[in-house]
Chain A
Amino acid sequence: MQTTSSKTRARTLQPLPDTPRRAGILKQLRSRPTVRGAGLALLALIVLVLAAPWFAPQNPYNLADLNLLDGRLAPFSQSMDGVRYLLGTDDQGRDMLSAILYGLRISLLVGLASVVIATAIGSLVGLLAAYAGGLLDMLLMRLVDFVLGFPSILVALVLLAIMGRGVDKVILAIVLVQWAHYARIMRGRALQERHKEYVEAAANLGYPAWRVMLFHLLPNCLGPVLVFATVQVAHAIVLEATLSFLGVGVPITRPSLGLLIANGFQYLLSGDYWISLFPGLALLALILIINIVGERLRTALDPKK
């Protein structure tokens, strides 16, 4: 601990402009075993999920592949035609392992898409508020306070109750409840930066305001926003899973991990634990990995250290 902090201090003392801070952070991250483990696991998971169609034992969306007679088989049991189900099957005879691999795709898709869109919208709003100042700043930030004043699960639930279910609608609902976080962080960061010399220099060169904002101010404010976004991917995935569990999320034809868990709920009391347990473990692993990477990223980028 002591050595790393003195090392970073030594590094920041170096006046050389060609030693970028970012490289130092990556090196620092790579040197920690937990982070390396979590990072590798995340990478492996993404590859696994992208390649799912080629090696998943079954296409869980193709009803012709499913055999109702194989419904609710315990893990490791054999099907009528000799296929082994490592993690058992659900009520429709769907192989849980395949369903989890495909479900991870939907969960990751929703998580990543909603965070990318929310980051873009929130950052632009925060940037605009900080740069414009005055009345516009006040109005935008009041809106942010208003949105953040409500529990996200409730707002998303009510939005989806009105809009109906669907992958795109879930993404939209998550964006609507999350953009304000980014706006607040970006505004705080941009307020610190906006009176620095390079911003004034760019403005004095006669560049239009949008150019100063997007090409000069934005790149220097993005760090904390991106760190926050990493952790928010986990939040978005949990939110999607919860909404799907409550029955307002993704449609039954494209089951995410949350919907798989919900699906197994009715069989839980009769002891068929695997339908809910394994998708839940997959979800938990995904969230833990993202949280660990995000948390270490934050400590590494923390300017106070």
Chain B
Amino acid sequence: MALFIVRRLIQSAFVLLAVSLVVFLAVYAVGDPIELLVSPQASPADRAAMIARLGLDLPLWEQYWHFLVRALHGDLGASFVYGTSTIQLIAQRMPATFELVVIAITLTCVVGVPLGLVAGLYRNKLLGKGILSSSVLGFSLPNFWLGMMLILTFAVWLGWLPASGRADPVSVLGIPLTITTLQGWRHLILPAINLSLANIALVLRMTASGVAEAQSQEYVKFARAKGIRPGRIVMRHILRNILIPVITVIGLEFGQLIAYSTITETVFAWPGMGKLLIDSVYHLDRPVVVAYVMLATLIFVLVNLVVDILYAALDPRVQLVENAA
């Protein structure tokens, strides 16, 4: 296990290095870095000072080296718009995004797995077919349009829920969250549904096909021949075996959802990292975009690592390192 983690950490470091190189080349080498990194409103003196400070007069490999060293010290530059450290800026927005993503994942599990189970068990009945066919909608609905239609229905027409924004956060163990207040939930529920719908469809379909496949397996037939109650077969025998791939997918989706929350946050004006990214793209605030990409990569890499380890913990047959024993 330790060997596996060390190996994966080294791999992850290489991925981060590769991303930093790509980002560096994209921002610094393609096009004029001065134009990209120095605010257009700067005076000529400021400009010269900036060029010298950022080392834009140095050879390319030396610039990359400085970029790397600064990045390792947690310095990915300062935002043009806010003038503060980009890392700090993104860190301030992180709780809002994580709150949204965690609620969306919870919704995915709570809705997707039971529906998939029903669809798989009754796949030849109208109920199962209906659930499976409507799950196609979950894939097909363009996420941003769905969000707008949710706003139109529940905020504009019915007037039940607020159209956008986030409630005033309450500090929970030092983290500003809104899930402790009713107003917080009223703001949270539509974006969370919006973010989770595609994943609900995905998990539902995986569970349904897993159930269908498991039902014809020998161990299920044997359990049935032994006279075990059908409910127990489903919960103890089938569900346990099909949950492993489902949990893996949910874990991997965690990283994806942070990226997809960009869309949901834009539609619902949710003040998270994704909204910050889009705003920075509009304002040509490139240091923030660079910092976002680096941080997002770090999150994906860590999430993948944790999922792999969890996978092994859940299924004792999985060997992380060949010939480890």
Contact = CB atoms under 8 A, between A and B. Distances in A.
B222 interface: no
B69 interface: no
A161 B281 contact: yes
Contact of A280 (B139, B145, B267, B277): B145
Interface string B114-156: 0000000000000000000000110111111100110110011
A102 interface: no
A151 B148 contact: no
A153 B263 contact: yes
Interface stretch (B43-51, B176-184, B252-260): B252-260
A287 B156 CA distance: 27
B26 A273 contact: no
A287 B15 contact: no
Q: In terms of DSSP, what is the predominant structure of the interface of chain A?
A: helix
A149 B296 CA distance: 12
Contacts of A159: 26
Q: Which of A153, A246, A276, A284 has the most CB of B within 10 A?
A: A246
B98 interface: no
Interface in A51-87: none
B144 A245 contact: yes
Interface residues of A, number: 37
Given A161-B289, A162-B30, A261-B148, A280 B260 contact: no
A250 to B, nearest CB: 15
Interface residues of B, number: 41
A283 B210 CA distance: 31
**For B27, B145, B277, which residue has the most chain A Cβ atoms within 10 angstroms?**
B145
Interface string B68-96: 00000000000000000000000000000
Given A151-B255, A242-B143, A287-B140, A268 B262 contact: no
A229 B210 CA distance: 25
Interface in A228-250: 234, 238, 241-242, 245-248
A280 to B, nearest CB: 4
A151 B296 CA distance: 10
Contact of B278 (A247, A271, A280, A287): A247
Question: In terms of DSSP, what is the predominant structure of the interface of chain B?
Answer: helix
Interface string A266-305: 0011010100110010011001100110010000000000
B148 A265 contact: yes
Contacts of A248: 281
B282 interface: yes
Interface of A: 146, 149-151, 153-154, 157-159, 161-162, 234, 238, 241-242, 245-248, 258, 261-262, 265, 268-269, 271, 273, 276-277, 280, 283-284, 287-288, 291-292, 295
Q: Would you list the 5 A-B pairs with minimal beta carbon distance, nearest first?
A: A151-B259, A280-B145, A154-B259, A161-B281, A287-B140
Interface of B: 15, 18, 26-27, 30-31, 136-137, 139-145, 148-149, 151-152, 155-156, 163, 255-256, 259-260, 262-263, 266-267, 277-278, 281-282, 286, 289, 293, 296-297, 300, 304
21 contacts: A146-B18, A150-B259, A150-B300, A151-B256, A151-B259, A153-B263, A154-B259, A158-B293, A161-B281, A241-B144, A241-B145, A245-B145, A258-B144, A261-B145, A268-B148, A269-B156, A271-B156, A280-B145, A284-B142, A287-B140, A291-B140
